[in-house]
Amino acid sequence: MPESSGEKPSVLFVCVHNAGRSQMAAAWLTHLAGDRVEVRSAGSDPGAEVNPAAVAAMAEVGIDISAEIPKVLTADAVRESDVCVTMGCGDTCPVFPGKRYLDWPLADPAGLGVEAVRPVRDEIRALVEALLAEIDAGVPSKTRPQGHAGRR
């Protein structure tokens, strides 16, 4: 895997508000990978705060994202990442040669209660686990398929 930002691979998760899906994905990858992977998240139109239902859903699995703050997507964040995973933000993510781009079409948890966010949280975990397995295996970025990595 290319290591454009240093010694370890880096992943950027992007959704519209950086308040739900991308925050949960970043938290899962950080939790599962530890310091093996550099993790970022951002939004094309960041919200004022992280979705309280996403915070509650992650707390149920022992991951605290209550201190996270939505961040704006920048070209630098994409440029510095080896893998860019979008989640419903369309074409707002800048495209740079040599990067791996994935799109995970996940339900948007905005405005939903924790009961509705749990399945999204669990789907994100499965996708993150599959992505991490590929990163750990050192699968070259140019040979990896787009889309639902590891989903059946």
CATH number at residue 112: 3.40.50.2300
Which H helix or E strand runs over 129? helix 114-137
Asked if residue 111 belongs to a domain, the reply is yes
At 144, is the pLDDT very low, low, confident or very high (cuts 50, 70, 90)? very low
Which H helix or E strand runs over 15? strand 10-15
Asked if residue 2 belongs to a domain, the reply is no
Could you confirm whether 89 is annotated as catalytic?
A: yes
Mean pLDDT of 119-140: 92
Which listed residue (12, 14, 15, 84) is catalytic? Answer: 15
Helix ranges, 12-82 (H): 21-33, 52-59, 75-79
Nearest to 82 by CA among 141, 33, 123, 128: 141
Which listed residue (89, 106, 114, 128) is catalytic? Answer: 89
Domain that holds residue 134: 10-143
Asked if residue 151 belongs to a domain, the reply is no
Asked if residue 150 belongs to a domain, the reply is no
d(CA 62, CA 59): 5
How many structural domains comprise the chain? Answer: 1
pLDDT, averaged across the chain: 86
The confidence score (pLDDT) of residue 135 equals 92
> pLDDT for 69-125, tens place per residue?
999 999 999 999 999 999 977 666 677 778 899 999 999 999 999 999 999 999 999
Asked if residue 93 belongs to a domain, the reply is yes
Q: Percent of the chain at pLDDT above 70?
A: 84
Which listed residue (19, 42, 85, 93) is catalytic? Answer: 93
Question: Residue 32, exposed/middle/buried by CB under 10 A (0-12, 13-18, 19+)?
Answer: middle
Cβ–Cβ contacts within 10 Å for residue 140, how many? 10
Map residue 101 onto helix, strand or coil.
Answer: strand
Asked if residue 5 belongs to a domain, the reply is no
- Token digits of residue 134: 């590929």
The confidence score (pLDDT) of residue 143 equals 34
Asked if residue 21 belongs to a domain, the reply is yes
Q: CA separation (Å) from 43 to 54, 69, 84, 99, 139?
A: 15, 11, 12, 18, 27
Asked if residue 99 belongs to a domain, the reply is yes
Dihedral sign, Cα of residue 19, residue 24, residue 29, residue 35: positive
Could you confirm whether 84 is annotated as catalytic?
A: no
